[in-house]
Amino acid sequence: MTEPTSSIDAFIAALPKAELHVHLIGSASVPTVLELSRRHPGGPVPTTEEELRAFYVFRDFPHFAQVYASVNSLVRDPEDIAILVAGIARDLAAQNVRYVELTVTAYSHLAVGMPMAAVTEALDLGARQAVAEHGVRVGYIFDVPGECGAEGARVTLDHALSVPPEALVGFGLAGIEQERVRHRDAFRDAFRAATTAGLHSVPHGGEMSGPETMWEVIEGLRAERIGHGIACVRDPRLMAYLRETRLPLEVCPTSNLRTGQVPTIARHPLPRMLEEGLYVTLNSDDPPMFATTLNGEYALAARAFGLGTAELAGLAGNAVRASFLDEPAKRAILAEIDQVCAAHAVRSPGAF
């Protein structure tokens, strides 16, 4: 029997969660972006809500990247960074998120003249405020903007190793995937140095290109999680590898729809990935830009793909286990998930 929408929505709202794939700039709320655009007028970012929402309608991924860069250009001093971190923590706390791994493109802040130490200080301040004011723990992932090539990799690595924020846990790679091949060796070298220093490898792959990008992040970058990964369904050998290794995938359905990676939500590969027994987590990517939330992604999975409360709880548990939290903190959130399942008469899902 299909569960009532109101019942599922209440369950999602109560469910403790971890968010593993969300970008600092992409998480900036509409009011925050409007405030920044009014402080720095004359650029391409609109200064009214109606125009900004229209600005967030994307033709394709390159257009999204252009809009993202325009919003990023509004962040011009360290105080802006701390405000953004605290803002995403506030928004996530309202959704019962206990922990977030927040992707920061540090290179873009350095490119506008911010010193590394100042960026790090702002990130540390934001993380402290997130816990103190909203009860949300923050882990940071420094990602290399792929289109910036060897220079982007070098500067990001230097920042990550020389003056890292206290909560830095991972090293990532994002941007337009088709451009990466020209800089493959530079990215491999940077990831080798980062992982040797103890950072986790969490690159994007298989979002806007084919399975070959996923094989590259697996074999060349030693990925411990993969951002998106939806192209895996085109390669049976890759799916078999992912199933056997339990390599987690950070799936962001609304993002894929809004950037044109899938034509309709009904054709999203998430149900196929679950049927194949892959290790899937749900994430929001750039929520205000895509008019979504993390709770909204869980609701979408229920509405569009027919997932019930037990399956949603399983996905929430997957995110906690796939995170880089310490084991006691993981156990505490998983126990909370079990408690919510018991209160809603939902069988405890275990690993999904």
φ and ψ at 272, to 5 degrees? -65, -40
Q: For residue 181, give the DSSP letter.
A: G
Q: For residue 148, give the DSSP letter.
A: G
Rounded to 5, what percent of the chain is helix, strand, coil? 55, 15, 30
Three-class secondary structure of residue 282 per DSSP: strand
Residue type, 125: L
List CB contacts of 151: < 8 A, sequence separation 6 or more. Answer: none
The answer to whether 103 touches 172, Cβ cutoff 8 Å, is yes
Q: Which residues pair with 102 in a beta bridge?
A: 22, 140
Rounded to an integer, what distance in angstroms lies between the CA atom of residue 139 and that of residue 22? Answer: 11
Taking alpha carbons only, the member of 106, 213, 112, 119 closest to residue 154 is 106
Q: State which H helix or E strand residue 239 sits in.
A: helix 236-245
Q: What is the pLDDT of residues 124-152, one digit of tens each?
A: 999 999 999 999 999 999 999 998 999 99
Terminal CA-CA length for the chain: 21
Between helix 149-162 and helix 184-196 the angle, nearest 10°, is 10
CA distances from 219 to 62, 109, 230, 332, 336 (A): 26, 30, 18, 33, 36
The predicted pLDDT at position 58 comes to: 85
Residue type, 268: H
Whether the model pTM is above 0.75:
yes
Q: For residue 197, how many other CB atoms are within 10 A of its CB?
A: 12
The predicted pLDDT at position 1 comes to: 44
The predicted pLDDT at position 280 comes to: 98
Taking alpha carbons only, the member of 71, 184, 85 closest to residue 128 is 85
Q: For residue 14, how many other CB atoms are within 10 A of its CB?
A: 15
CA angle 118, 124, 128 (to 5 degrees): 145
φ and ψ at 207, to 5 degrees? -90, -55
Q: Which residues pair with 140 in a beta bridge?
A: 102, 168
Three-class secondary structure of residue 139 per DSSP: strand
Rounded to an integer, what distance in angstroms lies between the CA atom of residue 264 and that of residue 273? Answer: 17
Share of the chain above pLDDT 90, in %: 74
Residues in the chain predicted with pLDDT less than 50, given as ranges, are: 1
The predicted pLDDT at position 198 comes to: 98
Residues tagged active-site: 207
Domain boundaries, the chain: 5-343
Rounded to an integer, what distance in angstroms lies between the CA atom of residue 31 and that of residue 33? Answer: 6
The predicted pLDDT at position 186 comes to: 96
What CATH class is the domain 5-343? alpha beta
CA distances from 302 to 106, 108, 274, 308 (A): 35, 36, 13, 6
Q: For residue 285, give the DSSP letter.
A: B
The predicted pLDDT at position 167 comes to: 98
List CB contacts of 87: < 8 A, sequence separation 6 or more. Answer: 27, 28, 29, 32
Q: Token pair for residue 9?
A: 């929505």
